[in-house]
Amino acid sequence: MGMWIGLVAFYGLAKGARDALKKKALQQSSLMEVLFFHTALAFLMTIPFSHNVFGIPAIYHLWVFIKSFVIFLAWIFAFSSIKKMPVSFYGIMDSARMIFSTVLALLFLNESMTLPKGVGLILVLCGIVIVNLGNQGADEKVKTKYLVLSLASCLLNAISGFMDKKLLGTGDIDSSQLQFWYMLYMTALYGAYILARRVPLRLSTLKTNYWIIILSILFVAADRALFIANEDPQSQVTVMTLIKQSSVVITVLTGKLFFKEKHILKRAICAAIVIAGICVATLA
């Protein structure tokens, strides 16, 4: 299938590491501080790699802004969830975005549902269902509110991924232009939210919470890889979405090694089921 599979696999593994970094950052700073500084730093990091950013048709600014608003909400939901969930549990729950992405790709991108993709989808769904059985026990019970927020984030991320494929497929906007403008609009949205809600913002956070800086670097690198993969006309959203779920390997490992979470064996089994689904799906 080409280099795009490797790029998406890198995105998936980086995403798992980012989930752990988010939780570490949120242990030291408030939700909005992490979101704003993470986004602003990521935007600044995109500038050296951006080119001809003013060379896109005006209508695309509207579409990129809509994408930015979708992710603005998705990140608030996701960061709120991961702050309260075990990271290993969150990583498997986040695989639910695959369901929404697959439906969007089948309905609007004319992608086909082959037998390997269908089997892969079922296996990933099984992993998600099994990890929720018993809801992790009384000691790590996850409130329904955060499960709903996690699923809402999955839906919004799927919409964003669908928009990436459509926008980059037009040929009127490239990956560096998209990354520049969407990160700029995201920074503006979080800034406006902070001003409107008068959320306290400590500049000292950047000195003390170095997890935010690492998170931003990894985010920019992974996003660029994903955008380049989306530019490949052979790339398929259904397969890309499944490959992204390789992140569960990293979230389960970091949950055990860095956060000393319980029920790791059960989550490791669920992660293995998800990975099996990915392997089967890429045979399509």
Domain boundaries, the chain: 3-29+67-175+220-281
Amino acid, res. 38: H
Q: pTM for this one?
A: 0.87
pLDDT at 199 over 70: yes
**pLDDT, tens digit, for every residue of 84-116?**
888 888 888 887 887 788 888 888 888 888 888
By percentage, how much of the chain surpasses pLDDT 70? 95
Q: Are 102 and 241 in contact (CB under 8 A)?
A: yes
Question: Quick one: which of 153, 168, 158, 169 has its CA closest to 100?
Answer: 158
Q: Are 281 and 245 in contact (CB under 8 A)?
A: no
pLDDT at 218 over 50: yes
Sequence-distant (≥ 6) Cβ neighbours of residue 267 within 8 angstroms: 88, 89, 92, 131, 252, 255
Q: Sorting pLDDT into bands at 50, 70 and 90, what band is 140?
A: low
Give pLDDT, residue 139.
Answer: 45
Signed CA dihedral, 82, 144, 103, 284: sign only: positive
The 3-state DSSP class for residue 174 equals coil
Distance CA 134, CA 249 (A): 22
Torsions phi, psi for 209 (to 5 deg):
-105, 80
CA 53 to chain centre: 24
**pLDDT, tens digit, for every residue of 219-269?**
999 999 998 888 888 888 777 877 887 788 888 889 988 888 888 888 889
Question: Quick one: which of 183, 190, 176 has its CA closest to 160?
Answer: 183
Query: Whole-number mean pLDDT of the chain?
Result: 88
**pLDDT, tens digit, for every residue of 28-43?**
999 999 999 999 999 9
Torsions phi, psi for 183 (to 5 deg):
-75, -35
Distance CA 115, CA 110 (A): 16
Burial label for 195, CB within 10 Å (0-12, 13-18, 19+), is exposed
Backbone region of residue 141 per phi and psi (left: phi > 0; alpha: psi in -120 to 50; beta: other values)? beta
> What Å distances lie between residue 105 and 60, 163, 178, 182, 284, CA to CA?
21, 11, 20, 22, 15
Alpha carbon distance, N-terminus to C-terminus of the chain:
9
Q: Are 207 and 74 in contact (CB under 8 A)?
A: no
The owner of tokens 């490959």 is 243
CA angle 107, 179, 6 (to 5 degrees): 70
Q: Are 74 and 153 in contact (CB under 8 A)?
A: yes
Distance CA 67, CA 177 (A): 14
